[in-house]
Structure 1
Amino acid sequence: MREVVMEELAVTAKDIFGVGIPDSALARAATQLIRDTESDLLFHHSARVYFWGALTGKRKGLIFDPELLYIAAMFHDIGLTAAYSESKLRFEVDGANAARDFLKGHGISEAEVERVWAAIALHTTPGIPEHMHPEIALVQVGAGMDVVGRGYEQFSEEQREAVLSAFPRGDDFKHGIIDAFYQGMKHRPETTFGTFNDDVLAFKDPHFQRLNFCSIILASPWAS
């Protein structure tokens, strides 16, 4: 089964408008780990995040490491899986930590490890990644394109069709990804404060109570 997965991946995504999955032992190991861990929905989503990000980087003439971008894209949502069903960290941090452990186990430099860590940890934080290393910026670009269609018109119809042909969205990705987010965060609602992740809990759970920053300020122990 593992060999079949890798062969199919190599055939379907060898080259999409000049972008391909890095042909390295590190990339193959990451692919297999994520394929064995994530659902089809999350695995295909992660692969598409890589292609949207890499195609954007190519279009903009950015200098980035495709291997690091691929690893970051592959690991960026692993924190939503059942393996982290008891974690109290933000799911983004779980994914960043998992990628860090994986990369350190393969002898990758500390600087490159930290770049991947930041790319994953910050991928749901708006306004910051675009000012950092291209790999960090491009993971957020790819995730934004795939989940909410941010930058949709910047890709040609042919590019979109090619990526979706290799890694399909399925019949109802929109509701599927919302449910994946919810399943990965419902046991740690406090971690969604200050992010748009609390929108997911509010959408899925009518009893969810959002924290309010102004209320927290007013309820602080300071006298004034």
Structure 2
Amino acid sequence: MSSNSPFPSLLDGTLSLPVTPLIRGALEHSKKITSPTTVNHCIRSAYFAILLSQKLARKDAEPLDAELIVYSVIMHDLGWAVDKSLLSKDKRFEVDSANMARTYLQSTKESGVWDKHRVQLAWDAIALHATPSFSQHKEPEVMLASMGILADFQGHFIANQLITVDEFKAIVGAFPRLGFKDQFIGIMCGLCAYKPETTYDNFVGEWGCEFGLDGKGTGKEEYAKNRLASTFPRTLLPTLIALAEYENEAPAE
């Protein structure tokens, strides 16, 4: 690996990331849009994703698209942009991130040739990264992207302890956490304040219910009340009851 690579080889040279023009460009793009703490989180997650790909590799499996995995993970939190004018008001942050990453792919010459399927895989890897119940049943690249990102939250405590303490420390040592816990809470609560309707039906809303709209409890009760009113039993059940009246009616002539 070249000495000017943004990604050093770790674990005695056994763990490295692909460094292509696209990956370099994606990293710089992420640095322009998100905070240093978010950038380091994305880089650590990329290392974890590649590390897990090594540990879970099967001899009979098709070769993985490592560039796609790393690109997706580096770009997966563009929806945490510091400049809120870059974000939608009506989409989950994961969808914002996926859309922004797709737009970047389509606009840069660094991407080379990506066919429709490859672009879709990157979009899926980003949009589904926070929903393991979907991502873990998708293509290997989508699954590994999600696992790598989750590993930065769970470290060596992930299932079956696939990542050792020493491996975790090596990656964090290269790209420190920079107060990630507190900034993450602030980002989640900020999303609940900025575009609450996109947070009610997913895990982001849990942070608003717990920590309010500013991470310090402000607006907590009102947010929780609004979120409860938007849950499916409160929104779907009344229409199901209303529609039941048509079940026994004769069809219109």
What band does the TM-score fall into relative to the shorter chain? 0.7 to 0.9
User: Percent identity at matched positions?
Assistant: 26
Check whether the contact 2:124–2:142 (CA below 8 A) recurs between aligned residues.
yes
2:135 is aligned with 1:139: no
Provide the rounded CA distance (Å) in 1 between the counterparts of 2:5 and 2:22: 18
What is the one-letter code of the residue matched to 1:77?
A: D
SS for the counterpart of 1:9 is coil
Provide the rounded CA distance (Å) in 2 between the counterparts of 1:39 and 1:142: 20
TM-score by length of 2: 0.78
Distance 1:118 1:85, change over 3 A: closer
Distance 1:47 1:185, change over 3 A: farther
Check whether the contact 1:22–1:66 (CA below 8 A) recurs between aligned residues.
yes
2:119 is aligned with 1:119: no
Matches within 5 A, 1:76-95: 76-81=76-81, 82-83=83-84, 84-95=86-97
Provide the rounded CA distance (Å) in 1 between the counterparts of 2:36 and 2:72: 18
Distance 1:184 1:192, change over 3 A: closer
Structure 1 runs (4+) greater than 4 angstroms displaced: none
Aligned alpha-carbon RMSD (Å): 2.1
Q: After superposition, what is the alpha-carbon deviation per residue over 1:178-211, rounded to whole angstroms, capped at 9, x for unaligned?
A: 1122224421111123311111221232121312
TM-score by length of 1: 0.87
Bigger RCO of structures 1 and 2 (CA < 8 A, at least 6 apart): 1
Distance 1:61 1:110, change over 3 A: same
Aligned match for 1:182, one of 183, 189, 193: 189
Provide the rounded CA distance (Å) in 1 between the counterparts of 2:168 and 2:153: 14
Matches within 5 A, 1:205-220: 205=212, 206=220, 207-208=222-223, 209-210=226-227, 211-220=230-239
What is the one-letter code of the residue matched to 2:233?
A: C
Task: Give aligned pairs, total.
Answer: 216
In structure 2, list runs of 5 or more residues that go unmatched. 213-219, 245-253
Provide the rounded CA distance (Å) in 2 between the counterparts of 1:126 and 1:157: 23
2:171 is aligned with 1:169: no
SS for the counterpart of 1:128 is helix
- Aligned-pair distance for 1:120? 0.5
- Aligned-pair distance for 1:15? 3.9
Check whether the contact 2:99–2:123 (CA below 8 A) recurs between aligned residues.
yes
Check whether the contact 1:85–1:184 (CA below 8 A) recurs between aligned residues.
no
Q: After superposition, what is the alpha-carbon deviation per residue over 1:5-48, rounded to whole angstroms, capped at 9, x for unaligned?
A: x94724xx234462322121111111111112210110000011
Larger Rg: 2
Provide the rounded CA distance (Å) in 1 between the counterparts of 2:105 and 2:192: 25
Name the residue aligned to 2:9.
Answer: 14
